[in-house]
Structure 1
Amino acid sequence: MHLYRQGELTLIEVNNDFARLVMTTHGASVLSFAPRMDDGRLQPDLLWVSERAHYSGEKPVRGGIPICWPWFGASSEPGLPAHGFVRNMTWQLMSSDSDDLGRTRLTFRIQSNAQSLALWPYRFELTLDVFVGSELTLTLTTRNLDSKAFTVTEALHSYFSVSKASEVFVTGLGNSECHDKLADLPPYRAEDVLSIVPPLDRVYLQQPGQVQLHDPGLKRNIEIEKCGAASTVVWNPGAELVGGFDDMDNQAWSKMLCVETGNVLESQVVVEPDTPHVFSMHLRAKPLA
């Protein structure tokens, strides 16, 4: 494991027999994951990070896998940050070791403090376990340190690197409940295959199963498994909306697609003081047949 600085942030690099991973303690956000081929060379990165991303610590890095918690999307209260506040907090690296499979395991933690309590009046502890093997597993554990239950929505906001956004597609969404955030439509039953036509912002509820991102240009499928989560979000701003982001180039939308895992909208989770809530995401890349 190697630690270094980029801008104002601390970055952590893991190079093992299985893969190379880079993440930052700012938001405990994974910024890069590239599995190794049989000959030891790295495969193309699964994740996308904007070339114009900020490393100042004043806002989350645009790309990788930010953590959205304790709410996803806009807050119900005006003036609070979108997607919660933990993606813009510094997490503590608690340990780095190897598990029984030889994977590198990193454990990060944050707890409520005066800053968080001013935004959200509950005491909590979050733990993120990162397992770096030929596949990547992230496990987020929420512990309620308060005397009363609280409710959260949450997501691992994964930005995937793609050959061309308009030529990839996502499968595994069939029979879930689709909420199209860009169209004035009631929720509807989703079809299994989603062709990507940006701009796109869709939330799929009642969707606990695996989804796959198919990329003919890169000749790979990215399989996304979840446990303890029942929502998938697919987002790409397209040429029409990308200009609203100062940390994305106007053409950047064509090289990324967000396929996010979590519990959002009506899939909110009630966390009792004595019952930790755990959800995880598991990523693997497979060559197209």
Structure 2
Amino acid sequence: MNIEQLNNNHGIVDHIKFIEGAGGFPYIRVDNAKGSAIISIYAGQVLSFHPANEPHNLMFVSERAYYQPGKSIKGGTPVCWPWFGPDPEGKGRPAHGFVRNRFWEVMRTEASGNEEGKVTLGLRDSAETKAIWPHSFELLLEITVSDSLNMELITRSLNGDTFPVTQALHTYFKVGDIAQVVILGLEGTEYVDKTDKGHVKSQAGAVVIDKEVDRIYRNVQGEIVIEDAELDRRIRIKSKGSKTAVVWNPWAKISAEMGDLKDDDYKCFVCVETANADQDVVQVGPDSESRLVANYRIERNVS
């Protein structure tokens, strides 16, 4: 993708600029009075979000992340679609679908005064995608940058097609010290424990991370809040179109085994994913759409 052409077609002076990023990938920089963000057109992935006057990034991105076509970027907001987790049909297709390792198209950009910027990225079916997943679709990702970060993943069925979708915004949140993190809003919620043979359990109290955690929470109600005492902030997560939340941290052994994580990176992030997964399958009917929405806001003064 030509950076100059992208700026000519979609740049907005002082608000939205296209730049060359890591690995030569085209990035979009969004700036306004309330916040700033960096978005990779490859993978349709937000890699950075800073509300104005906030000293720390919302996002964690590994220093060892791969920036290579065909590889996923470890950090930010990977998009899992049209399936979450292993290939549901056991055909050997990649985990978490096929949109987090390809270039998206810039559909449009907008700026509302100096307080909000919006970028819409999109993908449509092609001969290549139909060889992987035989459906006619349009997938849009609307990213709004202001004092919060808002993401809407929109799935549209085309040509009278009908298909099931599981999906997630697999967001990596930066934390100061995982040992001082508490996750609120999931108390009493049933979850599938993927670290314990998929046994179904009930969340007793707030979620703390003191070992490998890989859980799919069912029938999630209301907001989820990450309390990060070390960085003296809360991350408030509001979602729509989702009954599922996934909480993941690889802990020490898996972090050390991953080539795109440093050994101690597990101390610096937690994934809390807005999802449709497990029993929460979305059926997209003929010429209709579904929306998965997540809004992330930082609040100061945890103590």
**If the TM-score is normalised by the length of the shorter chain, which range does it land in?**
over 0.9
Partner residue, 2:18: 3
Q: Deviations over 1:12-50 (max 9, x none)?
A: 11121011100101111000001112xxxx431010000
Partner residue of 2:264?
251
Q: Deviations over 1:119-176 (max 9, x none)?
A: 1111110111111000010011100114331001000000000011122010100232
Aligned counterparts, 1:254-265, within 5 A: 254-265=267-278
Alignment of 1:146-225 (within 5 A): 146-184=159-197, 186-225=199-238
Relative to the length of structure 1, the TM-score reads 0.95
- Residue range with higher mean Cα deviation, 264-273 or 142-151: 142-151
1:7-26 equivalent positions in 2, closer than 5 A: 7-26=23-42
Match of 1:96 among 109, 112, 129: 109
2:256 and 2:264 in contact (8 A); partners too: no
- Once the two structures are TM-superposed, the CA of residue 54 in structure 1 deviates from its matched residue by 1.1
Structure 1 stretches lacking a partner, 5+ long: none
- The equivalent of 2:132 in structure 1 is 119
User: RMSD of aligned C-alpha atoms?
Assistant: 1.5
**Aligned counterparts of 2:205 and 2:111: Cα–Cα separation in 1:** 38
Q: Distance in 1 between matches of 2:155 and 2:233?
A: 33
Is contact 1:122–1:146 with CA below 8 Å preserved after alignment?
A: no
Query: Normalising by structure 2, what TM-score?
Result: 0.90
Distance in structure 2 (CA, Å) of the matches to 1:208 and 1:123: 32
Equivalent in the alignment of 2:295: 282
TM-aligned CA deviation for residue 184 of structure 1: 3.5
Q: Is the 8 A contact 2:136 2:161 kept in 1?
A: no
1:61 aligned residue (69, 73, 80): 73
Other-structure match for 2:86: 74
Residue 193 of structure 1: how far off its partner (Å): 0.7
Distance 1:102 1:18, change over 3 A: closer
2:142 to 129, 135, 150: 129
Q: Relative to structure 2, which stretch is displaced further, 182-191 or 140-149?
A: 182-191
Inter-CA distance 128–81: structure 2 relative to 1 (3 Å threshold): same
8 Å CA contact 1:208–1:227 kept in 2: the answer is no
Cα displacement (A) at 1:99: 3.9
Instruction: Specify the code of the residue in structure 1 equivalent to 2:196.
Output: A
Structure 1 counterpart of 2:68, one-letter code? S
Change (3 A) 1:279 1:66: same
Q: State the Cα deviation string for residues 56-96 of structure 1 (Å, max 9, x = none).
A: 22211110001000000111223211100011121111111
Instruction: Give the Cα–Cα distance (whole angstroms) in 1 for the partners of residues 191 and 229 of structure 2.
Output: 25
Poorly superposed stretches of 4+, deviation over 6 Å? none
Gaps of 5+ in 2: 1-15
Separation (CA, whole Å) in 1 of partners of 2:229 and 2:128: 45
